């Protein structure tokens, strides 16, 4: 599975992947002023950049990655997606902490929804990880089953993680982007479109998998019926 998107490879700074421009006092000509939000340890975090870095961990072109050893593993794309989720959860925690510090300025219902989606997505990824066959089993020449399971788990993970990323960007837009002239708005929408493209692509694959599973189940029932009659 290969996805070629305009994300910085390996979770590097999103700024380096944008247009050339000067940077001074936290300002970058291509994306505008960085908005830094304190995390629970008091460290400043550019949440928008962090959400984009998450995409770079699992959507950047594979030939731009530095972790060549992982690239060779059949489960590499799934593992990269898990890394992306971890980064998104870090970003969500910063936003949730900011809402706790300033409840009068934040939409609490949206914050609660973000928190719940983070927990739900993390729980699903754990289940997918548990069902993912080992690399040795996936490479086994005895059956295509393990490879099918790995592909299904990977597409499901990418879909759910990308949906979470869009939710984070939507929350960020509503709470922190004040005007349409804010350059972060254009940058953010670029990556919203890419995440949506990933969701659509993964949904197509999952629908095909679901159809195949139904056909296999039907064939299995027919075979069991014949075997009982023999």
The pLDDT score that the predictor gives to residue 217 is 86
User: Residue 44 pairs with which residues in a beta bridge?
Assistant: 38
pLDDT digits (tens, 9 = 90+) for 18-28: 333 333 334 44
The pLDDT score that the predictor gives to residue 6 is 52
What is the average per-residue pLDDT within 93-103?
Answer: 93
* Cβ atoms of residues 21 and 69 within 8 Å: no
Count the neighbouring beta carbons within 10 Å of the beta carbon of residue 167: 19
pLDDT digits (tens, 9 = 90+) for 166-224: 999 999 999 988 777 777 888 888 889 999 999 999 999 999 988 888 888 888 889 88
* Residue listed under structure tokens 């972060």: 184
- What is the C-alpha to C-alpha distance for residues 214 and 206, in angstroms, rounded to an integer? 12
> Which pLDDT band holds residue 16 (cuts at 50, 70, 90)?
very low
Q: Is the pTM of this model over 0.85?
A: no
- pLDDT for 50 beyond 90: yes
Q: What are the domain boundaries of the chain?
A: 26-229
Residue 51's alpha-carbon distances to 13, 82, 146, 155, in angstroms, are: 11, 14, 31, 19
């Amino acid at each position: 599975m290969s996805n070629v998107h305009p994300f910085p490879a390996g979770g590097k700074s999103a700024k380096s992947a944008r247009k050339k421009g000067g940077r001074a006092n936290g300002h970058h000509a291509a994306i505008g002023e960085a908005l830094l939000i304190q995390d629970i340890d008091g460290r400043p975090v550019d949440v928008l950049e962090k959400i984009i870095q998450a995409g770079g961990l699992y959507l950047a072109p594979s030939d731009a990655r530095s972790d060549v050893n992982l690239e060779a593993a059949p489960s590499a794309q799934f593992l990269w997606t898990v890394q992306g989720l971890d980064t998104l959860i870090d970003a969500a925690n910063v936003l949730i902490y900011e809402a706790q510090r300033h409840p009068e300025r934040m939409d609490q219902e949206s914050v609660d929804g973000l928190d719940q989606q983070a927990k739900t997505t993390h729980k699903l990824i754990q289940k997918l990880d548990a069902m993912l066959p080992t690399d040795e089993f996936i490479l086994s020449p005895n059956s295509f089953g393990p490879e099918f399971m790995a592909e299904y788990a990977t597409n499901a993970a990418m879909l759910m993680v990308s949906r979470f990323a869009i939710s984070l960007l939507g929350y960020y837009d509503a709470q922190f982007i004040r005007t349409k002239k804010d350059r972060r708005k254009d940058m953010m929408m670029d990556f919203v479109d890419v995440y949506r493209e990933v969701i659509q692509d993964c949904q197509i694959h999952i629908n095909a998998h679901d159809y195949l599973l139904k056909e296999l189940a039907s064939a299995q029932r027919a075979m069991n019926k014949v075997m009982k009659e023999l």
